[in-house]
Structure 1
Amino acid sequence: MPCDKQTDYLLETLPQPVIYHSMTPQRFSTDVVPKFEPAVFKGFARDWDIVKAARQSAGDAAGYLQQRAARIVHRMVIAPADIKGRIGYNQSLDGMNFQLQDIDLARGIEQMINCDSQAQEQRCFQSVPVTSGFPALLDKIPNPLVSDTAKPFVWVGNRLTVSPHFDEANNIAVVATGRRRFTFFPPEQLANLYIGPLNYTPAGQPVSLVDLHEPDLLRFPRYAEAYQHGLSVELEAGDAVYIPSPWWHHVQSLEPFNILVNYWWSGSFVSSSMPFTFLLHGMQVTKNMTPGQRQAWKSILDHYLFDEGADPAAHIPEPARGVLGQLTPEMAAQLHQWLAQQIR
C-alpha cells in the first residue's frame, strides 16, 4: 500500500545538490571532489553540437546521432507499457521486467524517436561505448574535467526510470537531449533503500526495490529515513552532474526522447574467493581512495558482511536471495567461476 501522504515524498521537494554555473579542472579538483557529494554543472555542454541540435528539436538530435552511428548492433531494452517505464526486477524478483533485443543502432534510434506515447513500449540503449558505437562523436563531446582514460558512453531512449543504484566508478553524466531528474542518496542510506538481489541485476548493478514515486512504506518503512537524506535535481540539455562512487542515484528520463553521455573513471576493483586474499585486496583497493570513498565502501561491507544485527536479505523472498541466502555447492561453484573471470 502506498504511503498515506504521497505529497510528503515528492522528489521535486527534496533539496538540490550544489549547483555550479562554471567549472574548470582546477576547481573540480579542489572544490568539488573533496566534498564527496553530487554536484551539478549548469550549461557544461552548451556548446556541444548535439546539444545545439536538441535545442532545435528531438528529431534533429536523433538525426545527428543516427548519422554518427556505426553499423553495429547493440542490445536494446524494451519495456512493456504496463511497467510505466520503471525498469528493474519483476514482481517475483526472479528475473527482469523488460525484454532485450539486439538491433542496429540507427534503426533502434528510429524506433525510439517514433515512440510518442507512454502507452507504447518504451525503448533504450544503455551504455553504448562511443569508441565503437559512435566514433564520429568522439571529438564533438569534450570533457576537460576527466582524463583520456575516462571513455564516454551514450544512453539514448524514451521515458524510462532506473531505480536507485550505485556505480563502482566516479561518474560525470551530461544531458545531451531532453530532461532528466537525478535523485541521490548517501552511501550510508543503503539499508534504507531495500536493495534487490545481487547475483542478477538489471544492468550490472543491484537496484532498490522502492518505487520512489509511490513508496510503499508498509513494505519498505525505512525508506522514510532515506528520503530525509535525499537530494534531487532536474537537468536540461547541456547540464551535467558529478556522481562520486558509490552514491546511490535514481534517474528518470522525462521527455519522449532523451540522450545522455557519461564518463566513468576509478581504480581497479578486483575480487577473490579466499578470505585472506580478500583482506589483501581490500587494502590494495582502499589505499588510494579518498576518505569519503573509503567510508562509503565500509558502509556497504558492514551491511552485507559484518553487521550481525540485521539480515540484509530479509526483504527479499528466499527463492530470490541468490548469494544473499543459503550458499549451495552449485552456487558456490558458479560464484567461484565468476570471480575467476573477474581477475583474469
Structure 2
Amino acid sequence: MRLPPLPFETKPVRRLHRPSPQELWAQQEPVVLTGCMDDWKLLHELKARATPEQKLAVLGSRFGTQTVEYHRLPGHLGGHYHFQKENLEGVTFSGPQAGVTFDTFAGELLRSLSGASSDYVYLQSHAVEPGTALFEALGPNVLPVLHEQQVFPKLWVGSPGQVVNLHYDDFINFICMLEGTKRVTLFAPELLPFMYHAPFDRMLNQAMASHVRLLEPDLESFPLFRQALSEARVAVLEPGEVLFTPPFWWHHVESFGLNVMINNWLFREHLDEVVEMQGDLTQAIRLFHARPAGQRDRARALYQRTVFAPGAASAPEPAGSTEQEEPGLAEHRARTRALVARLPEALRKQHALYYDHFVFQTSGEPFPSQPGALTAMVERNAHAPTFFLRD
C-alpha cells in the first residue's frame, strides 16, 4: 500500500527474521520481526478472504456471542486519539460503547469502511482469553520467542485512518499485524526533554503521552520537538510482521485499510519494581519541585555521584555525602539508592532520566506546553500515594 508521506525525514527500523529468544532479548531498540507469525491460523484465514465482509465474518465466527466494547470518533476529529487542540486537559475521545456483540461492532465498522458513516470505529485492547476459539487461532504462545507465562494477547480492530498519537509504555510491546497496514513512528527514551510530556495523571488510555501532534507538528508552540524529529524512526507493518518495542520508547501509530492486529504487552522486569520507581519519583518531585534551582543543581550532582552513576548505588556511601543534607532529603536519597541498586540497567537509566527531567528540571519547566503544570499536578494529588494514576 502506498502511504501518505510524513512531513519529516525518518530512519527505517531494522528487521530480523525469526530471531532466537537470546537474540531478541538482547535488542535495546525496536525491530521488525518477520516469519514469527507463519503458524497463525487466523492470519491464513484472513488472507484467504477477499472482502472486508468476509474477513470480519471470520473474526465474528470466533467470537460467537461474546460481547465487546469499542470507541467511536466523529469524522471531523480525523481519527485522532489525542488531547484536544484547544484544551490540553481534555481528550478527543469518550468512554467506549460496551456490551455489544462482535457482529454489531462489525456492522458499524462496515458502514465506516463503505462511507455510509463518517465515524471512525475502533475495538481496542480486547483481551483474548486462553481456551477461546480466537485464542486457538493464534500461533503457539502467540510468538516463538514467548513462553506460556508471557502470553497476554489483545485484539485491535478498526477502520482506516485511526491515529493513536505519541505515547509510551513502561513494558515491552509486540504488535502483530493480521490485516491492513500500520505505520509506527518511534522516538528513543533519551529524547524525553524534547517530547512535551503530559502530566503523569493525564494519560491517553492508560499510557504516558505527548502534547505534540506528530502529523502536523506545531513547531512554534513546541520548538524543542525539532531536536526529536531529527531522530525519528519508522516501521511499516504488513500482515505477518511484528514490531518489537522496548519499554519507554515513544510511538505514534497510524492505521491504513481494514486494520486487525494482536498485541502482547510484557513486563520482563517485575511489575513491583516499576510501581516502586513511580512511588519514589512521586516523592522526589514533592521534595524538590518548589526548591530553588541552585539547590536542585547541588542535589543532582550528589544523586549523580551516589545513586545513578554505574555501580554507585551498590557501593559504600562516599564519605561526606550527607554533610549539610537535610534529614528528609538524606532519608529519601538512601531509599532511592537502595531501590536503584536492585533495578536492572534499563530501569536504572530510565529512572535517572526521569530524575533529571522531572525532579532536577535540567531542561527547565518539565511540562513546557503547560507552564505551572508540575505544581498543579502536585497540588491536585496532594493526598494520593502516586502521581501515576491507573485503574
Query: 1:3 is matched with which residue?
Result: none
Q: Where do 4+ consecutive residues of structure 1 move more than 6 Å?
A: 337-342
Are the counterparts in 1 of residues 155 and 260 from structure 2 also a CA contact under 8 Å?
A: yes
* C-alpha separation in 2, matches of 1:309 and 1:252: 30
Q: Measure the CA separation in 1 of the matches of 2:263 and 2:165.
A: 18
Aligned to 1:270: 275
Report the Cα offset of residue 139 of structure 1: 2.8
Q: In 2, are the aligned partners of 1:68 and 1:137 still within 8 Å (CA)?
A: yes
Q: When the two structures are superposed, what TM-score results if normalisation uses the length of structure 2?
A: 0.74
What is residue 135 of structure 1 aligned with on the other side?
132
Show CA shifts across 1:103-157 (max 9, x none): 324022332233116771101122111118x922223222121122221111111
- Distance 1:89-1:283 versus aligned 2 partners, 3 A rule: farther
The superposition leaves residues 242-290 of structure 1 with CA deviations (integer Å, 9 ceiling, x where unpaired) of 00001111111111x211111121121224465668974785577352x
- The residue aligned with 2:77 is 83
Bigger drift between 47-56 and 81-90 goes to 47-56
The change in CA–CA distance for 1:184 and 1:297 in structure 2 (over 3 A counts) is farther
Aligned pair 1:96/2:94, yes or no? no
1:48–1:313 CA distance, 2 compared to 1 (3 A):
same
Distance 1:278 1:136 in 2: 51
Structure 1 residues 191 and 122 mapped into 2: Cα distance closer, same or farther (>3 Å)?
A: same
Alignment of 1:167-182 (within 5 A): 167-182=169-184
Higher gyration radius (CA): 2
Residues 90-113 of structure 1: CA deviation (Å, up to 9, x unaligned):
230222112322132402233223
Shift of 1:33: 2.7
Counterpart residue type for residue 113 of structure 2:
D
Residue 161 in structure 1 maps to residue 163 in structure 2? yes
Q: Which residue of 2 aligns with 1:315?
A: 369
Are the equivalent residues in 1 in contact too, given 2:46–2:58 (CA < 8 A)?
A: no
Contact persistence 2:201–2:388 (CA under 8 A): no
Q: Secondary structure at the match of 2:56?
A: helix
Q: Which runs of 5+ in 2 are unaligned?
A: 285-330
Greater relative CO, 1 or 2 (CA 8 Å, sep 6+)? 1
Q: How many residues align?
A: 323
CA distance change for structure 1 residues 115 and 242 in 2, over 3 Å: closer, same or farther?
A: same
Shift of 1:175: 0.6
Partner of 2:378: 327
Partner residue, 1:121 = 119
Q: Distance in 1 between matches of 2:211 and 2:388?
A: 26
> Per-residue displacement from partner, 1:298-335 (whole Å, max 9, x unpaired)?
223321222244111221265xx3x652633x5312x2
1:22 is aligned to 2:18? yes
Cα drift, residue 74 of structure 1 = 3.9
For the 8 Å contact 1:197–1:324, the answer to whether it is kept is no
**2:146 is paired with a residue of what secondary structure?**
coil
Identity of aligned residues (%): 22
CA contact (8 A) 1:198 1:206 kept: yes
Q: 1:297 to 1:38 in 2, by over 3 A?
A: farther
| Pair 1:145 & 2:145 matched | yes
> Is 1:211 aligned with 2:205?
no
- TM-score when normalising by structure 1: 0.83
